[in-house]
Amino acid sequence: MARGGSAVAVLSFLLGLPLLSVLVAGEDPYRFFTWNVSYGDIYPLGVKQQGILINGQFPGPQVEAVTNDNLVVNVFNKLNEPFLLSWSGVQQRRNSFEDGVAGTTCPIPPGANFTYILQAKDQIGTYFYFPSLAFHKAAGGFGGIRVLSRPRIPVPFPPPAADYTVLIGDWYKTNHTDLRYMLDSGKALGFPDGLLINGRGWNGYTFTVQPGMTYRFRITNVGLATSLNIRFQGHAMKLVEVEGSHTMQTAYSSLDVHLGQSYSVLLTADQPGFDYSIVVSTRFTTKIITTTAVLHYTNSAGKAPGPLPGGPTTQIDWSLNQARSIRWNLTASGPRPNPQGSYHYGQVPTTKTIRLANSAATINGKQRYAVNSVSHVNADTPLKIADYYKIPGVFTVGTISDSPTYGGAYLRTSVMGADYRGYVEIVFENSENEVQSWHIDGYAFWVVGYECVRATLHCFLSLALFTFGDLNLSGSNFFDAE
């Protein structure tokens, strides 16, 4: 994901690792999906565009699962370009082969199909999928994933009257092939033309609520580059879950949602019967753009009076403070009924510390982005496949330093080694004046701190990472600043 937000929100100083050497039980239920990926006309901002549809839908269909379900998704690529789907938040334990970013598995060639076999092993929560190659995400192909608790596992709030997915994101009228060409020729992406809520523009989508009932809204930023803020006119959001962790239930009047982040909030329809606005606006941008959806009461007497609620705009501290205010509820159940805290951060021996500093650089006359001075080049053979089949000459472990070099940037297929079942701390350092977002695939990790050095606005985000599989192919597939 491009320059959008701190990678994740959450968490506290305690770590819970529900990992045991569990057998992938043969009897966990299977859910089968057949997906046709095709081009089709969409009009999200009122002008016709060629979108990427899944089974004719934009956004794509919702994936609904229960903890431990096996998901078998047979994807038919009817585009004229190779296509690859990534399952953001699905942990891919033991092997990230099917995680679906460049470097894991081969893309699906045009006219071919590939069956992803995933398991929501020991997971609950709100996630999403998206196409990871060729800027396809700018045309659609994304959708929500929700993993529900098993029937007997207590959930720390009563069942909501309905469970709504809210996919928010920036949007460009320029199509994905033209956007890709712009980037490939070294130009910047530029400012988005608008924001979408569930694939629709201004007031294009309606969520219906009954007076007095409480609803769950699962909010994900599926955009390309922009951090967003969301608020519900006249209503408070009670935050209950962030990417599979139940949080301390705190009320917010507005929430920052950075690229790739997912939040669940509860909202009670406790106001007079009107149509209220759900407002989404850009963060950290000089020009602010906004969009709205409708929160429609079944007894609505028309549009709610009063102005649209305002939100934060460029303030960085506000965002960091809000992120710090979000805490894991360690006494609530997760995928299992037991409390979540079992390891104390600080008492677990760290097997490795990795510091990753991003930088923008011009290489061979083009705008590139580098990590620890390496601007990653995808190998022709996906790294995981080269590793599995022991194909020599594709990559070399140790081609990227585990701490910043602050030297000039250069091109390379970068791969860093780490130990199986290691406990790794990663510090992301951003001294650029843009938000940097990271997509970390296939592992369990927890935010342990944020810091900004005021004078330089040099920001740090620390993560603790527990590796369920081998983390030795990290150059592109596990840490990709896309």
Ligand X SMILES: *[C@@H]1O[C@H](CO)[C@@H](O)[C@H](O)[C@H]1NC(C)=O
- In this structure, are strands 214-221 and 163-171 parallel, antiparallel, or unpaired? parallel
325 binds ligand X (CB under 6 A): no
470 binds ligand X (CB under 6 A): yes
182 binds ligand X (CB under 6 A): no
State whether residue 322 is helix, strand or coil: helix
Q: Which of 32, 55, 303, 321 binds ligand X (CB under 6 A)?
A: 55
Q: To the nearest whole angstrom, how small is the minimum distance from the Cβ of residue 238 to ligand X?
A: 9
Q: Which stretch binds ligand X (CB under 6 A): 174-182, 228-236, 298-306, 398-406?
A: 174-182
Q: Which stretch binds ligand X (CB under 6 A): 92-100, 173-181, 302-310, 317-325?
A: 173-181
34 binds ligand X (CB under 6 A): yes
Q: In what order do the strands lie in the sheet with 49-54?
A: 49-54, 30-42, 70-77, 113-119
Q: Sign of dihedral through CA atoms 117, 22, 10, 350?
A: negative
Residue closer to ligand X by CB (options 331, 351) is: 331
What DSSP line would sit under 227-295, residue for residue?
-EEEEETT--EEEEEETTEEEEEEEES-EEE-TT-EEEEEEE--S-SSEEEEEEEESS-SS--EEEEEE
With beta carbons less than 8 A apart as the criterion, state whether 382 and 368 touch. no
Binding string to ligand X for residues 408 to 437, with x set by CB under 6 A, is what? ---------x--x-----------------
Q: Which of 282, 430, 472, 474 binds ligand X (CB under 6 A)?
A: 472
| 356 DSSP β-pair partners | 428
Residue closer to ligand X by CB (options 24, 453) is: 24
With beta carbons less than 8 A apart as the criterion, state whether 335 and 123 touch. yes
- When computed from its CA atoms, the radius of gyration of the chain, rounded to whole angstroms, is 21
Q: Sign of dihedral through CA atoms 320, 325, 330, 336?
A: negative
Residue with tokens 């050095």: 453
Q: To the nearest whole angstrom, how small is the minimum distance from the Cβ of residue 97 to ligand X?
A: 13
161 binds ligand X (CB under 6 A): no
Q: Where are the alpha helices (DSSP H) in 297-355?
A: 316-325
Residues that bind ligand X (rule: CB under 6 A) add up to a total of 23
Residue closer to ligand X by CB (options 135, 369) is: 135
Q: Which of 332, 416, 459, 465 binds ligand X (CB under 6 A)?
A: 332
| 277 DSSP β-pair partners | 294
Angle at 267 between CA 262 and CA 268, to 5 degrees: 165
248 binds ligand X (CB under 6 A): yes
397 binds ligand X (CB under 6 A): yes
399 binds ligand X (CB under 6 A): no
Q: Which of 156, 234, 273, 404 binds ligand X (CB under 6 A)?
A: 156
Q: To the nearest whole angstrom, how small is the minimum distance from the Cβ of residue 392 to ligand X?
A: 11
177 binds ligand X (CB under 6 A): yes
- Residue 378 burial (CB count, 10 A): 16
Angle at 359 between CA 354 and CA 363, to 5 degrees: 125
Q: Which of 115, 325, 350, 396 binds ligand X (CB under 6 A)?
A: 115
Q: How many CA atoms lie within 13 A of 156 on its CB side?
A: 28
Cis, bond preceding 404 (omega within 30 deg of 0): no
Q: Which stretch binds ligand X (CB under 6 A): 18-26, 188-196, 328-336, 436-444?
A: 328-336
Q: Which residues contact ligand X (rule: CB under 6 A)?
A: 34, 36, 50, 55, 74, 113-115, 156, 175, 177-178, 248-249, 329, 331-332, 387, 397, 417, 420, 470, 472
